[in-house]
Structure 1
Amino acid sequence: MTRHTASTITDDALDALYTRLDAYDHHAARECTAPGRSPEPGPGERPTCGICPRVLRADERHRYACRPCERRITEHLAQLPALVQDLHRLLIPGAQTNVRGYRARPGSEAAAPINLHVLDVITSATATLDSWLRDWHERLSWDAPAYHADPLTEAAAALRVNVPWAVEGHPAVNEFAAEINDLHRTATGLLDPAQRARRIGHCPVTVLDEHGGRHTCGATLRYVPGATTVICSWCQTTWDALDLSADLCGAA
């Protein structure tokens, strides 16, 4: 893992980074749209993860997804129930919460007695996890899931336990990962808008596969205001925020 010296990014530098990164996106964006397991590689090519462009290692080639993506899915599933529970405190427009330091956006007088967007996120979280769990049960020829008290928490736990099967046996695991990531990001952003990660471009690092082949990582990079570093979620390269600003703006 590459790591650069940390320092605090200034507001001026951050503003300059945001205004120039659109050009970089058009210049260097690397799209990843493979539905599930990548097509059979051609001569000299190596199979890649269906979620990110990471080249699969020799002991991962029977899988739809690499192990870092599997860990990220598992972590998000573990965190989702508590995040969604905290969202209940934001159902009343203008409400604030101090749970684990999260802070809601100060609200103005609302037309509705309940925050419909927050309610939609809460209900869609349960519906999404329940839908995927039912799909997995059908594929495994299991009985339909039965919940005892809290469908969201129980579905998240059941999915988390079976993620190792999904990354090896479910051809749509990339869609599942994308939906879980969206739920996690939306809930986190609602609970603390000030800490909502901002998209700042794509990872420019050249990575090597196990046979020496080179390709650009291309992962979407996100910066959390106030952070001193930016970490690529795919190749795990860590930058000082100012260094990354200079690198990306120079590529624009």
Structure 2
Amino acid sequence: MTCTVCLRDLYADELTHQACRPCTDRVGLDLAALAGPNGLYARLADSLTPGGSSSGPAVSGSRTAPLPVRLGPLSLAARGGVVTVLQTWLIDWHDLLGYRHPRWEGGLQQQCDQVVGRLRVLLPWAAEAHGAFDEFARELRDLRRQCETATGGERQPRRVPVACPCGQTLRITLDTAGVRCPACSTQYGHAEALGLPLAERRAAA
């Protein structure tokens, strides 16, 4: 059996799980990065106004007035953004477990902290029993990257071309969970994908 997130073979003590231990730990770190007074969600508020983050240089001399808020951070911080996505997942988990509908209290920051805390409590169960844990892990990772970009943190990772033995070029990042070759249908886990030779070097050989 393989991990549904990184696609590597599961160890004997992980065979009843959807995800391996490293992937489960990574999801926990992604959740933790969003919450708290210094978390990514809280930092979105400081990035709402133009020039409010280090994501790019200020531009002067424009003939039109700048937007009063930056739409990228706003869409993530507002209802329907980060908090709503996480709450939707928690509702799904509660339904599957037969728990009552979670209740949200306070403003969006407080709700973010509440839903992250609850998701982290239920994370071991989800990694073992939730059939869409891989989808949750990917969506959470995307949310974290969007928040990092919006707050002037990490940029989108650069994709590196590597060569499948069949000759097909695959594009991966350093944190690629797994990739399937469209030409020969070979499935690579995280470690296997990173172990493939660079496409340029292979072609030049």
Q: State whether TM-score is above 0.5.
A: yes
CA–CA distance in 1 between the matches of 2:32 and 2:163? 30
Alignment equivalent of 1:83, drawn from 37, 40, 63? 40
Superposition deviation, residue 120 in structure 1? 0.6
Alignment equivalent of 1:118, drawn from 73, 79, 91? 73
Contact 1:50 1:174 in 2 (8 A): yes
CA–CA distance in 1 between the matches of 2:83 and 2:51? 24
Superposition deviation, residue 115 in structure 1? 1.2
Give the TM-score, by structure 2 length.
0.73
Residue of structure 2 equivalent to 1:162: 122
Of the two structures, which has the highest relative contact order with CA contacts closer than 8 Å and spacing of 6 or more? 1
SS at match of 1:49: coil
**1:187 aligned to 2:141?**
no
CA–CA distance in 1 between the matches of 2:193 and 2:134? 22
Alignment equivalent of 1:199, drawn from 149, 153, 158? 158
Contact 1:203 1:219 in 2 (8 A): yes
CA–CA distance in 1 between the matches of 2:119 and 2:95? 13
User: Which ranges of structure 2 fall in alignment gaps of 5 or more residues?
Assistant: 176-188
Question: Against the structure 1 CA distance between its residues 238 and 175, is the aligned structure 2 distance closer, same or farther, given a 3 Å change threshold?
Answer: closer
Alignment equivalent of 1:127, drawn from 84, 88, 104? 84
Residue of structure 1 equivalent to 2:94: 137
1:86-141 Cα shifts (integer Å, max 9, x gaps): 01111112223xxxxxx332344654211122111123100101100111111111
* 1:14-163 correspondence to structure 2 within 5 Å: 47-81=1-35, 82-96=39-53, 103-108=54-59, 111-123=66-78, 124-149=81-106, 150-163=110-123
- Read off the aligned partner of 1:186 and give its amino acid letter: Q
User: Which ranges of structure 1 fall in alignment gaps of 5 or more residues?
Assistant: 1-46, 97-102, 207-217, 224-232
Superposition deviation, residue 201 in structure 1? 2.4
CA–CA distance in 1 between the matches of 2:128 and 2:12? 14
Contact 1:51 1:69 in 2 (8 A): yes
State the identity as a percent: 32
- Read off the aligned partner of 1:93 and give its amino acid letter: P
**1:234 aligned to 2:190?**
yes
Alignment equivalent of 1:220, drawn from 147, 172, 175? 172
Superposition deviation, residue 196 in structure 1? 1.4
CA–CA distance in 1 between the matches of 2:21 and 2:115? 22
1:144-182 Cα shifts (integer Å, max 9, x gaps): 112333111110111011110001111011111111000
Task: Name the Cα RMSD after superposition.
Answer: 3.0
CA–CA distance in 1 between the matches of 2:9 and 2:144? 26
Contact 2:159 2:173 in 1 (8 A): yes
Count of residue pairs the alignment pairs up: 174
- Read off the aligned partner of 2:157 and give its amino acid letter: R
Contact 2:17 2:128 in 1 (8 A): yes
